[in-house]
Amino acid sequence: MSADSNAYQVVRDFAWHAGDTDEQPAINRIKDLAALRAAVEEQIGWAVDNREADGLTWQQVADALGVTRQSAHARYSKRTR
């Protein structure tokens, strides 16, 4: 199984919380996915913050993220460490 398909499987298998019982299940699912997205973005940021210590170039980071080098640098170079 590739890393991409494994990631999608993790999201599909995500244990949805009941959330607010006054809201529709779809709203709770969207809220859960937004929280998951925030957690993933935080982890990506930490990994990118450590790119120099890990010996990675901005081009390697960009390739891993599927974006241009300029886009990766613009998004992550100004993060507070």
* pLDDT tens per residue across span 25-69: 788 888 888 888 999 999 999 999 999 999 999 999 999 999 999
Look at residue 12 and tell me if it is in a domain.
no
Look at residue 13 and tell me if it is in a domain.
no
Look at residue 32 and tell me if it is in a domain.
yes
Return the pLDDT at 60.
Answer: 97
Q: How many residues does the chain have?
A: 81
Task: Name the residue range of residue 33's domain.
Answer: 24-81
Return the pLDDT at 25.
Answer: 77
Look at residue 66 and tell me if it is in a domain.
yes
- Is 28 within 8 Å of 18 (Cβ atoms)? yes
Look at residue 39 and tell me if it is in a domain.
yes
What's the pTM? 0.73
Return the pLDDT at 80.
Answer: 54
Return the pLDDT at 16.
Answer: 64
Count of structural domains, the chain: 1
Spatial distance between the Cα atoms of 53 and 37, rounded to a whole number of angstroms: 25
Look at residue 9 and tell me if it is in a domain.
no
Look at residue 59 and tell me if it is in a domain.
yes
Look at residue 34 and tell me if it is in a domain.
yes
